[in-house]
Structure 1
Amino acid sequence: MFAKSENAGFALSLVGNCTAMDILAAAIKHRMFLPGETVLVAVSGGPDSVAMLHALLSRREEFGITIHIAHLNHGIRGEAADMDEEFVRALAQEWNLPVTVERVDVPALRRKLRMGEEEAARQARYEFLRRTGNKIGASKIAVGHTADDRAESVLMNVIRGTGIEGLGALRPVAGNIVRPLLDTWRSDIEAYIRENQLPFRIDESNLDLAYTRNRVRHELVPLLEKHYNPRVKNALVRLAEIAQSAADFIECAALDAVGKITYRGAIDAEMLCDLPEALRYQIVRSEIERIKGDLRDVEFEQIDRVVGALGSGDDFTITLPSGKIYAVRRGNEFRIVEKEQLPEVEPFEIELNVPGRTQVPQIGLVIEAERIESPQPKKTPPDVVLIPEDAICGTLRIRSIRPGDRIIPFGMRESKKLQDVFVDKKVPRAKRALAGVVVDDEKILWVVGIVASEATRITERTRHAIRLAAIR
């Protein structure tokens, strides 16, 4: 949908009481731009990005910057998205600015990456902006987040569960990403749009309550303002600023500390555990980001698990998001490593608590065991197995794989080498390195998460079984 103030056009006139410097307060406060820089300005066509572009353009000589527009057609809204693209192209032409436009099929990307539409669109947008910025030689990328966006992001992170970094949502400057409107409320931007008679596009999906941010914006925030605190957005923004200052201090302290406890590429685990808790969490978080390249899909619970495992003093291997990096402790050495660097697991054998939980830190695993009466023959997920009690000889144990290990796979009569099973099932080498086997006194009953033995078959005659579940 196209919207404009009365007599709006593409002219660069600047009128009214809400000035460009007013809405660019964050840019001035944080000295976002240096003379001679090329700034890539992300323009969706909505009021925030149009106001940002207009304000930057009207003050580009004062900042001494060159402006280049970037627009990504997400392919989500069909014809409306195409009209957004046409609008931005026309705006660039009227204001005599270079523009780069790309199209991406976000629904297809969402399916490929197995993530939500909002996250897929965000990922596509920032990848496009970084790629375009590199191509044109832009040293800064300006995006149109406002103070309202910041308050909403803090609230969303609190609801989702977050640490201090999440409380400090949307930094004014994050690498080469800058947010010139971050100190400006949406109401002031709307006033700027009206006073300068700027045209803009309306994204009707911003009203769709199927999206979490829209529910927070249109339902939760108004509810909090009405019944709890009419200035709740101000409070949330202030919280973000305080959290960012605290996070910056902790990051600097952690960087100083890790340099003192790192030897030959490994962190001294005991010295790490002697540090204050906040520094332990920050060091683990920073190491994950250093090896992984980002913190996408890394949740607080995963960092908490690594910090907790360090406190136990035992060796461990913990699989981190995407299954491509691992937290590893061997002796007193702690590392975050990629799968190619994964060290061999030291031989181990642990008796299972039945019923109960058994920690297997060597391969980053917990086994939960319970007794089941009258089990039913049915397919179980890979991380669960039912073992008839009358098939168990002696005690149940979990151990590391040994050369020559064999199993009779479920549904087969003859035994196979585990190595052949791994090849047949195309098990990655990194996963093989972390495989454990559940055994009794005579045989392998389960290669955890990969294959069960024929001996685990449940029949109508089975009266009692042990249910094992593997939790990584």
Structure 2
Amino acid sequence: MEVAVRAFIKHTNMLSKGQHVVIAVSGGPDSMALLHFLWQERRHYGIHITAAHINHQLRGDESNRDEELVRDFCLKEGIPCEFAAVDVKGYAKRNQMGSSVAARELRYQALLDILKRVNGNCLAVAHHGDDQIETVFMKLVRSANALQIPGIEASRMIGDVPLIRPLLGVTKADILQYCVNYGIQYALDSSNTSTVYTRNRFRETVLPFVTHENPMLFKHIQRYHEWQSEDQAFLFSLAEEQLSQILIKKSEQIVTISRDQFLSVALPLQRRVIHLILNYLYNESARITSVHIEQTITMLRAENPSASLELANGAKLLREYDHCHFLLVPSNVKEQPPLMLDIPGKVVLHLGEVSANWVEQETKQNHDPHIQLDGDELKLPLTVRASCSGDRIAALGMAGTKKLNRLFIDRKVPRSLRSEWPVVVDSHEQIIWVPLLQRSRLAKVTSSTKNIVELTFYGDTKRLLEFQ
């Protein structure tokens, strides 16, 4: 085992001279073998060693015996050792989580506390090659996201602390034989055989079968994990470059990209661009699923210019022509209440304000934010409201009427703005004006007009017109 572990440490470059390594030691054969190996090799690597045992207090006397075994071993070998106890049951109950998740969170929290207390700068745990096989198969069977790293990393960061796994290059059988060779006593955790836990079921059923078919599978799996990790890192770096080119707007709760530019990106990078966006919004990758990535791509490829898609945890994708908005929280549609518009007077709206005034002469400003009307032909009072189902406008320059919804579509008004867009109607509910978009032929100013009303829209006209 020693040769294989040394080779793996060299291959991964996980240890460096001067490090103070805190080793998580449960008392089982894996962690006891790791402790013994690194203690024996400490001078070779030029490192300092501290053992750390966390008592989860889940198995009564058995847990206490594990602690005593670690304490006696460290005392005998002269290894510095730190101990801590955690209340897994209480923590799990308070946070409404399973005991295994609670134990993991508390264990790493306690280990990091110990590492800080002893001025350590590296944490070592005893996962081995069999654990790698189990993890890869478990993720293939259960993972909802095909872009996740397939197995266990040999080294990773917990905050600013490196966590290393020196035994990933050897099997459980190698470790047990090592313990026999050096007469290392260890404890066996009775919970490791319980079929309540998914990992144990894989260990008892899948692992014996696949390792019987190929005793060297652990090496192939480790290589598969490493190559996949490296390939993923490379592809994600390319995806980040593509995202920077198709990005239109980015804030804490919204990311907007160009659909046309997104579709010009290769499919493997499209998947990773979506993953990057959702990971940014969620601030974690656990909520991202392959289903949502596939649904997003399908929606962006569709011909429908407007669509929405509910994602995980309140996130939403909103497509408005070329703009695609990834929202962290669903966009709240604001209801625009009807407001009476006096002459002179003004009303304040979500998107701006509309004013009405009497003017003395025609100025030909019948476009964009201004229109002029024949005051004597108007059916007063005027009202500014939101659009309603079935609305039609007798558009100036056209025969008959046009559906307001069709006007929004033709002028490419984003769906998110349509419910807020102001509509000016007369007392008969006839549409007089849709600011920035269309006026009606009703109350048109002529040479015989004596009283002229001018309507003006004030708002962020540039922003509202940028979609056109």
Q: TM-score, normalised by structure 1?
A: 0.61
Is the CA contact (8 Å cut-off) linking 2:133 and 2:207 kept in structure 1?
no
Shift in alpha-carbon separation, 1:300–1:105, aligned structure 2, 3 A: farther
Separation in structure 1 between the aligned mates of residue 54 and residue 277 of structure 2, nearest angstrom: 33
* Aligned residue in 1 for 2:424: none
Q: How do residues 352-391 of structure 1 correspond to structure 2 at under 5 angstroms? A: none
Shift in alpha-carbon separation, 1:347–1:173, aligned structure 2, 3 A: farther
Is the CA contact (8 Å cut-off) linking 1:24 and 1:55 kept in structure 2?
no
Separation in structure 2 between the aligned mates of residue 42 and residue 288 of structure 1, nearest angstrom: 34
Separation in structure 1 between the aligned mates of residue 243 and residue 272 of structure 2, nearest angstrom: 10
**Aligned equivalent of 1:213, options 188, 199, 211:** 199
Separation in structure 2 between the aligned mates of residue 277 and residue 222 of structure 1, nearest angstrom: 38
* Aligned residue in 2 for 1:15: none
* Aligned residue in 2 for 1:22: 4
Separation in structure 2 between the aligned mates of residue 202 and residue 41 of structure 1, nearest angstrom: 18
**Aligned equivalent of 1:188, options 169, 174, 191:** 174
Is the CA contact (8 Å cut-off) linking 1:148 and 1:185 kept in structure 2?
yes
Q: TM-score, normalised by structure 2?
A: 0.61
* Cα distance, 1:308 vs structure 2: 4.2
Is the CA contact (8 Å cut-off) linking 1:35 and 1:63 kept in structure 2?
yes
Secondary structure in 2 matching 1:237: helix
Letter in structure 2 aligned against 1:155: F
Separation in structure 2 between the aligned mates of residue 291 and residue 258 of structure 1, nearest angstrom: 14
Is the CA contact (8 Å cut-off) linking 1:208 and 1:214 kept in structure 2?
yes
Shift in alpha-carbon separation, 1:282–1:220, aligned structure 2, 3 A: same
Q: Does 1:283 align with 2:280?
A: no
Alpha-carbon RMSD:
3.2
Q: Does 1:201 align with 2:200?
A: no
Give deviations 1:141-169, integer Å, cap 9, x for gaps.
21111011001111111111354554631
Letter in structure 1 aligned against 2:224: L
Give deviations 1:418-464, integer Å, cap 9, x for gaps.
xxxxxxxxxxxxxxx9xxxxxxxxxxxxxxxxxxxxxxxxxxxxxxx
**Aligned equivalent of 1:258, options 230, 243, 249:** 243
Secondary structure in 2 matching 1:200: coil
Secondary structure in 1 matching 2:169: coil
Letter in structure 1 aligned against 2:257: D
**Aligned equivalent of 2:98, options 95, 107, 116:** 116
Secondary structure in 1 matching 2:141: helix
Give deviations 1:3-37, integer Å, cap 9, x for gaps.
xxxxxxxxxxxxxxx43x43343222111122222
Letter in structure 1 aligned against 2:290: F
Q: Does 1:242 align with 2:242?
A: no
**Aligned equivalent of 2:58, options 59, 70, 76:** 76
Give deviations 1:52-73, integer Å, cap 9, x for gaps.
1111111122222222222222
Give deviations 1:179-208, integer Å, cap 9, x for gaps.
111111111111211111112111121112
State which drifts further: 49-58 or 129-138: 129-138
Secondary structure in 2 matching 1:201: coil
* Aligned residue in 1 for 2:87: 105
Shift in alpha-carbon separation, 1:263–1:56, aligned structure 2, 3 A: farther
Separation in structure 2 between the aligned mates of residue 211 and residue 344 of structure 1, nearest angstrom: 42
Q: Does 1:61 align with 2:53?
A: no
Letter in structure 1 aligned against 2:192: N
* Cα distance, 1:230 vs structure 2: 5.3
Letter in structure 2 aligned against 1:268: I
Q: How do residues 87-236 of structure 1 correspond to structure 2 at under 5 angstroms? A: 87-166=69-148, 168-175=150-157, 176-226=162-212, 229=214, 231-236=216-221
Is the CA contact (8 Å cut-off) linking 2:258 and 2:323 kept in structure 1?
yes
Shift in alpha-carbon separation, 1:180–1:314, aligned structure 2, 3 A: farther
**Aligned equivalent of 2:312, options 320, 340, 352:** 320
Shift in alpha-carbon separation, 1:288–1:122, aligned structure 2, 3 A: farther
Q: How do residues 312-461 of structure 1 correspond to structure 2 at under 5 angstroms? A: 312=302, 314=306, 316=308, 318-321=310-313, 326-329=315-318, 331=320, 339=329, 343-345=331-333
Is the CA contact (8 Å cut-off) linking 1:25 and 1:181 kept in structure 2?
no
Letter in structure 1 aligned against 2:262: L
Shift in alpha-carbon separation, 1:99–1:37, aligned structure 2, 3 A: same
Is the CA contact (8 Å cut-off) linking 2:139 and 2:150 kept in structure 1?
no
Higher relative contact order (CA 8 A, sep 6+): 1
* Aligned residue in 1 for 2:257: 268
Separation in structure 2 between the aligned mates of residue 250 and residue 76 of structure 1, nearest angstrom: 43
Letter in structure 1 aligned against 2:108: Y
Task: State the identity as a percent.
Answer: 25
Separation in structure 1 between the aligned mates of residue 270 and residue 264 of structure 2, nearest angstrom: 9
* Cα distance, 1:249 vs structure 2: 1.8
Letter in structure 1 aligned against 2:195: L
The higher radius of gyration belongs to 2
* Aligned residue in 1 for 2:446: none
Separation in structure 1 between the aligned mates of residue 323 and residue 75 of structure 2, nearest angstrom: 59
Letter in structure 2 aligned against 1:206: N
Q: How many aligned residue pairs are there?
A: 326
* Cα distance, 1:291 vs structure 2: 4.2
Separation in structure 1 between the aligned mates of residue 7 and residue 144 of structure 2, nearest angstrom: 28
